[in-house]
């Protein structure tokens, strides 16, 4: 007997202030569209059962079709609060992938590799550290919703987490400053 397919949601974090950028980072143009939409479009081409977009108060970002917009009223306290808000908003998922809206080059292939993980998996960075995007099972949801401040999910004690390298290191490019857009 075949087991039912796991329902996987995605939480796209778009609530950061972009202070090093000088503000307006996620709405800055990248390849002809707002930066955040690059990550959103990639996620739209993956079979997620739910899509949650987390923004901060007074964000100029508006949702896209197939996304549920969630406002994190305490986004200025850090990424942990946005992860918690996004995971809390999921309604019927067995797993969740957490993505960052300032990483426009993450591929559908890499998200597929995370989908294939049996449990928790983080993206492996060239220096061997773990980061986003990352996938978590329902058993980690209570830990994720307990995150606060600037503590992200890699601060959790998930010793059996798998590390998954993307096909190309360029997928790990993230935008922090205006000059990053030119790179």
pLDDT at 58 over 90: no
pLDDT at 3 over 60: no
Asked if residue 47 is part of any domain, the answer here is yes
What is the reported pLDDT for 27?
83
Asked if 130 contacts 163 with a C-beta cutoff of 8 angstroms, the reply is yes
| Mean pLDDT across 48-56 | 96
| Mean pLDDT across 76-105 | 94
Asked if residue 2 is part of any domain, the answer here is no
pLDDT band at 63 (very low <50, low <70, confident <90, very high): confident
| CATH number of the domain where residue 69 is located | 3.90.550.10
Omega before residue 132 within 30° of 0, cis: no
Asked if residue 96 is part of any domain, the answer here is yes
Asked if residue 3 is part of any domain, the answer here is no
What is the reported pLDDT for 21?
63
Asked if residue 1 is part of any domain, the answer here is no
State the burial class of residue 42 (Cβ atoms within 10 Å of its Cβ: 0-12, 13-18, 19+). buried
Q: How many domains is the chain built from?
A: 1
Between 3 and 170, name the one with better pLDDT: 170
What is the reported pLDDT for 136?
95
What is the reported pLDDT for 18?
63
Look up the domain containing 70 and give its range. Answer: 8-182
What is the reported pLDDT for 16?
77
Asked if 102 contacts 181 with a C-beta cutoff of 8 angstroms, the reply is no
pLDDT at 159 over 90: no
What is the reported pLDDT for 1?
35
- In sequence order, which residues have a C-beta less than 8 Å from that of residue 167 and are 6 or more positions away? 107, 109, 110
What is the reported pLDDT for 181?
61
Asked if residue 83 is part of any domain, the answer here is yes
Asked if 115 contacts 109 with a C-beta cutoff of 8 angstroms, the reply is no
Asked if residue 17 is part of any domain, the answer here is yes
């Amino acid at each position: 007997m075949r087991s039912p397919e796991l329902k996987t949601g995605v939480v796209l974090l778009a609530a950061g202030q972009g202070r090093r950028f000088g503000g307006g980072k996620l709405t800055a143009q990248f390849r002809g569209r707002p930066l955040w939409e690059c990550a959103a479009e990639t996620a739209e081409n993956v079979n997620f059962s739910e899509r949650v977009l987390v923004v901060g108060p007074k964000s100029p970002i508006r949702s896209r079709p197939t996304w549920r917009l969630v406002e994190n009223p305490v986004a200025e306290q850090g990424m942990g609060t946005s992860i918690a808000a996004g995971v809390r908003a999921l309604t019927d998922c067995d797993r969740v992938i957490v993505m960052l809206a300032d990483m426009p080059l993450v591929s559908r292939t890499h998200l597929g590799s995370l989908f294939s993980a049996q449990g928790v998996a983080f993206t492996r960075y060239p220096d061997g550290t773990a980061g986003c995007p990352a996938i978590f099972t329902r058993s980690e949801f209570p830990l994720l919703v307990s995150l606060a401040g600037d503590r992200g999910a890699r601060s959790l004690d998930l010793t059996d987490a798998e590390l998954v390298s993307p096909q190309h290191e360029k997928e790990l490019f993230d935008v922090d400053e205006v000059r990053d857009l030119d790179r």
